[in-house]
């Protein structure tokens, strides 16, 4: 039965969306902790669910696409998705998952797309740290304008891994579609360093987005949740070889050894993904339960956040945000992840126009 509070919260979300000039439509509901979307040429999309399922949504129908073996506990399981940049000529779908067999770890795998289903093809990158508590696995996948695959990894609550260049934990990685270290990576020739590393000093990065004009990479990241205070969730401008400070710095340190965040929330706004849309940088909020629009001022390499606006709220926890091929903004709720209040027909994919 739908409670009065749930009805009120739904109406609140509707009116807040209208106040920002947006129309919100529910595309599909009844999902189980959707984590990432991947839009298919010709219509439809894939959606990963953390317990291990990938679903295909096409022409109003939700179909099973693939089932992967995963270790689904805490924040781990089946997480990011990305299509090969030359899809469907190169018919591959990439996924980030936590596995237990052969030793607990995170890995990037690829599936071969076969019409209405995906078949596991091979492991692309293995050995990303994971722990049995399932926390801080990172998990975002995205192909950049350079055709390389970018991967966010968490430090699994072992803080020093973020500063350890021999570990893949607490990093943004950059690899080829075949899983090799990408040409031009900053640590290719440093002894003892993993050549896949693009940036480091991250706690639990959750989102990736490229500026549509300058091609710069932006990332969202969770700040501390008790081990060094609370809050200080971040949006960062990522540069090759940049050290983003965790655990040496929380928030803005003004220390030339570390990169300060472009923006942070001292009171906390744990983010999901982020996306550029219609002149703003949109950040999905989990515990913050809102979609924020960051208005940027400046130019390449010299950005600042001029103001922050609430674009959408009233739908609970929000994780994925991505621009679709129809130029609408797609957002997923994450109320069934054990940390939210489940609303009718959760979890959902929403379309904002």
Question: For 6-19, what is each residue's pLDDT tens digit?
Answer: 444 444 444 445 44
Distances 281 to 149, 210, 216, 275, 284 between C-alpha atoms, Å: 21, 10, 13, 6, 10
C-alpha 170/C-alpha 207 separation (Å) is: 13
C-alpha 199/C-alpha 283 separation (Å) is: 21
- Tell me the pLDDT band of 217, cut-offs 50, 70 and 90: very high
Phi, psi of 158 (to 5 degrees): -115, 90
Cα dihedral 331, 332, 333, 338 in deg (nearest 10): -140
- The three-point CA angle 350-45-127 to 5° equals 105
Q: What is the DSSP letter of 4?
A: H
- Judge whether residue 20 has pLDDT over 80: no
| Sheet strand arrangement including 117-128 | 78-83, 92-99, 105-114, 117-128
CA 325 from chain centre, in angstroms, equals: 19
Name the average pLDDT for the chain.
94
**Which pLDDT value is given to residue 21?**
76
Q: Are 23 and 353 in contact (CB under 8 A)?
A: yes
Q: Are 235 and 202 in contact (CB under 8 A)?
A: no
Q: Which segments within 68-216 are labelled E, that is strand?
A: 78-83, 92-99, 105-114, 117-128, 141-143, 149-152, 171-175, 197-200, 204-210
For residue 258, give every residue at least 6 positions away whose Cβ sits within 8 Å of its Cβ, in sequence order, or none: 201, 243, 244, 245, 248, 249
Supply the pTM of this predicted model.
Answer: 0.94
- Judge whether residue 116 has pLDDT over 70: yes
**Which pLDDT value is given to residue 144?**
98
Q: Alpha helix (H) ranges present in 233-353?
A: none
- Judge whether residue 206 has pLDDT over 50: yes
């Amino acid at each position: 039965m739908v409670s009065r509070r749930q009805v009120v919260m739904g109406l609140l979300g509707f009116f807040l969306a209208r106040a920002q000039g947006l129309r919100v439509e529910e595309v599909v509901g009844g999902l189980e902790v959707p984590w990432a979307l991947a839009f298919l040429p010709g219509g439809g999309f894939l959606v990963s669910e953390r317990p291990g399922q990938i679903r295909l949504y096409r022409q109003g129908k939700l179909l099973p696409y693939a089932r992967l073996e995963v270790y689904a506990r805490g924040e781990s399981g089946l997480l990011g998705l990305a299509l090969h940049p030359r899809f469907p000529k190169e018919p591959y779908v990439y996924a980030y998952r936590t596995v237990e067999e052969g030793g607990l770890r995170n890995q990037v795998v690829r599936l071969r797309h076969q019409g209405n289903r995906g078949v596991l093809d091979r492991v692309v990158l293995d050995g990303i740290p994971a722990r049995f508590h399932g926390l801080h696995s990172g998990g975002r996948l995205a192909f950049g304008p350079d055709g390389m695959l970018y991967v966010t990894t968490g430090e699994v609550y072992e803080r020093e891994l973020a500063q350890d260049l021999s570990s893949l934990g607490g990093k943004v990685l950059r690899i080829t579609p075949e899983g090799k270290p990408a040409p031009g990576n900053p640590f290719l020739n440093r002894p003892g360093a993993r050549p896949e590393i693009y940036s480091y000093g991250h706690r639990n990065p959750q989102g990736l987005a490229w500026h549509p004009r300058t091609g710069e990479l932006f990332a969202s990241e969770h700040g501390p949740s008790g081990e060094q205070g609370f809050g200080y969730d971040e949006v960062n401008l990522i540069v090759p070889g940049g050290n983003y400070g965790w655990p040496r710095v929380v928030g803005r340190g003004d220390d030339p050894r570390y990169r300060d965040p472009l923006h942070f929330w001292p009171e906390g706004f744990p983010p999901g993904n982020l996306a550029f849309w219609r002149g703003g940088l949109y950040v999905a909020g989990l515990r913050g339960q809102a979609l924020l629009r960051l208005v940027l001022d400046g130019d390449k390499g010299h950005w600042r956040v001029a103001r922050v606006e609430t674009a959408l709220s009233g739908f609970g926890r929000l994780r994925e945000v991505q621009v679709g091929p129809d130029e609408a903004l797609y957002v997923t709720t994450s109320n069934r992840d054990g940390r939210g209040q489940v609303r009718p027909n959760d979890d959902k994919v929403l379309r904002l126009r």
